[in-house]
Amino acid sequence: MKVALLGLFVQEIAAVIKPFGLPAYRASQLVNWIYKQHVTDFSAMINLPKSMRTLLAEHFTVREYELQTVWQSGDGKTSKYLLRFPDQSAVETVLMRQSYGNSVCVSTQVGCAMGCIFCASTLQGMTRNLTCGEIMAQVLHIESLLAQEGQKVDSIVIMGMGEPLANYENVVKFIRLCHEEYGLHLSYRSITLSTSGLVPEIERLAQEGLPITLSISLHAANDTSRSTLMPVNKRYPIAGLLAAGDRYAAQTGRRVTYEYTLIAERNDRVSDAKELAKLLRGRLANVNLIPVNPVPERGLLRPGAEAIKRFEQTLLAHNINVTVRREMGADIQAACGQLRKKHLENH
């Protein structure tokens, strides 16, 4: 079985090519071709001897996937890609062209096991974790497309399909690789990770020395309500989750974002906003309000514009930093899991 080089640090590439008599400096050439030049065919790596290119092709691959589907939003600002790996697993990646740059949303698992009732990713359950290389392939696919326009990936959000912290080792390696100068050379502050609230892993992440933005899915201000929306709350209730968020903020100096999906007649009342404000008062935190993307199987409805505004104003009146997520790609079902679900239904 061939070894995939994508997803490996330069030192790891040097180690895997060494048994074939290749010196360590060749690893530096390889990472430049793979991460900077987006080359996937060894035969195109022209500063390597032809015999070496043949040897590499016999024993290694760069990255393996097929582009299954592309959906483009009507305004041209959002593109959604369905990538399929050799085992037929398919994952979604989204490019969002924002005013502040190009942002890529990556998936970390094939499906999701968390069972949040407002999300399409979890409808078919979880198949497997993605490797570091498979996560990186999503970014490099888009980076190579942007390069043709003289642009690049400016930020990454790890909040596509799957629970990132349930695939801890691969995700942390991916983050470090994105930061490497020979990788994407992204600032850690340009990377956001969203979790449903795995407390032990949040604690562990705080010790990694990675000052990334942590985004915690809260979606309710009390355990009774949150447990009906997110089964993970039964294992890690709100008090312990907020304590972990506080420790992350103290350790990294980064403000924690609490995501709150607004669902009509479930958690969008003024009383819910006041309860949320009381919960977050005095914390190094802000709230990101997300009007729910309707998933037909779930029967959950998006609140009206007045209800969304009222919720936001209530938080602001209680001195809570709040933003309302600007909707992108609704016309192409850019919410997590929707494109993969449609693909599975058609095959």
Is 132 one of the annotated binding-site residues? no
Is 282 annotated as belonging to a binding site? Answer: no
Among the options 12, 92, 259, 312, which is catalytic?
A: 92
133 annotated binding-site participant: no
Specify whether the CB–CB gap between 115 and 172 falls below 8 A: no
CA angle, 247 then 250 then 252, to 5° = 105
CA distance 129 to 290: 26
Residue 92 annotated in active site:
yes
The answer to whether the annotation marks 89 as part of a ligand binding site is: no
Give CA separation, 286 vs 126, 190, 276, in Å: 30, 17, 11
What's the CA gap between 28 and 344, in Å, rounded?
Answer: 40
Say if residue 217 carries a ligand binding annotation.
yes
What H or E segment, with its residue span, contains residue 78? strand 78-84
Give the separation between CA 211 and CA 249, rounded to whole angstroms. Answer: 9
Exposure b/e, 58-72, CB count within 10 A at least 16 = b: eebbbbbbeebbebe
Question: Is 229 marked as binding a ligand?
Answer: no
Instruction: Say which residue the tokens 């959604």 belong to.
Output: 80
In DSSP terms, which residues pair with 323 in a beta bridge? Answer: 288
Tokens for 322?
């709040």
Burial class from Cβ neighbours inside 10 Å (0-12, 13-18, 19+) for residue 41 reads exposed
- In the structure, how many helices (H) and strands (E) does the chain have? 11, 14
Q: Does 112 carry a binding-site annotation?
A: yes
180 carries an active-site annotation: no
The reply, when asked if residue 149 is annotated as ligand binding, is no
Cβ-Cβ contacts under 8 Å for 347 (sequence gap 6 or more): none
Name the 3-class secondary structure at 79.
strand
Active-site residue, selected from the candidate residues 105, 132, 178, 336: 336
- Residue 140 counted as an annotated binding residue: no
Q: Which residues does the annotation place in the binding site?
A: 112, 116, 119, 162-163, 194, 217-219, 293
Q: Which residues does the annotation place in the binding site for S-adenosyl-L-methionine?
A: 162-163, 194, 217-219, 293
| Active site members | 92, 336
Q: Which residues does the annotation place in the binding site for [4Fe-4S] cluster?
A: 112, 116, 119
